[in-house]
Amino acid sequence: MVAQRTDRIIVGLGTTGLSCARYLRAMGVEFQVVDNRQSPPALEAFRQEFADVPVTLGEFPQALLNDAKELIVSPGVSIATPAIREAEQAGVVISGDIDIFSRQVKGPVVAVTGSNGKSTVVSLLAAMARAAGLKVGLGGNLDGAEAAPALDLLRQDVKDLYILELSSFQLETTRSLNAEAAVILNVSDDHMDRYEDKHAYEAAKQRIFIGARHIVVNRDDASSQPWQDATRVLSSFGLSVPGAGQWGLLAEADDYQLVRAGERVLKASEMRIVGRHNLANALAALALGDALGLPLPAMQAALCQFPGLPHRCQWLRSLRGVDYYNDSKGTNVGATIVAIESLGEMLKGRLVLIAGGIDKEADFSIMKPVLQQFVKLAVLIGRDARHLAAAFKDSIEVIFAASLPEAVNMAASRAREGDAVLLSPACASYDMFRDFTHRGQVFAQAVEELQ
């Protein structure tokens, strides 16, 4: 039975859809919910909070969508879905949670996207802003206890600054973000199962610059550059010696100096996070903080104290001279390449890599150079393990495991003193786990149980 017409329909009932429902209810706006899954993840929580709101599950009801004034589409639902396209052609407004947020927020917003490093950069920038005494709203696509979906932030007290991690999916439905500062950290092949090609993926990320007052770019990645409005570029960061108004590195003996133009800011060895990718993340946060006018002492203090985030090249333990690292957040090829390079350059030995899951139609052949340089064995798991094996087989030895705990035991048996075992799947997790956090927890538990 199709529910009666309503002006607003939330499409997709996950974490974001639930936050949209809470926001609309707080604003006194009537709405309905549709989801093409029979058991969406937030269904039980939604029914407990909104027992009076109609929910339609299964195939999208086209007539209902076409009759709406606005569809609030969750990030997990592509706006290229035929039912969404038909509704748009019928004159229905297509929006998302970030689009609504940008129209209602009362404070300055920093927006961060990119294929890799987003969560670390926004969390680090939030620590810098708090060290400067600001009240910070942190969230968007970010997971973790300190983060919240964007619309949930609007239901809190007004903040001095809002810092959002944004996915390309969220940006698809964002028309006028108008951020105080915005950055695309980097772009590598990801979500090719959703986008026609890499250009379409990049185009979605470029939407972060719409209306931005200050644009920060990564000198080491051309995809970070805005396609339009380049005159609003305030500063840049990169792993090279910086010029005027730029952030970068100076190599000194066995260490690096993080510098702003010619000014030394911090030694890399003073930070708790490690690896060249984290040097880039630190420089990105510094460049954004600089654009916001945060005082340098506060940014330096935060950099020295920031411990890093779980599931992102997180050191777990050392056993018989072998270190174990959890990079479950490495859900795409680019992230895994960065993790392999960063750890491989530190090791006396070599890496045993655990990878696999849902491949998102990525090109794994581009991993061959780093595999050959740093990895001695790949233990593959998950639905698309054979796809990875086909790309890896001419580069390194490959074996298969039926589960992640089995993979940990197999990796431990082959690693030698000075080596490291790295979980960095280069794939999505949903074939075997609830999400990448669950995958990382299973890995950590298996590592802890090693004898």
* Residues known to be catalytic: 118, 141, 191
Contact 300, 257 (CB under 8 A): no
Distance (Å, whole) CA 52 – CA 196: 39
Non-local CB neighbours of 263 within 8 Å, separated by 6+ positions: none
Strand partners, 398: 378
Contact 327, 351 (CB under 8 A): no
CA dist list (Å): 34 to 5, 18, 100: 13, 12, 19
| Vertex 52 angle, CA 46 and 54, to 5° | 75
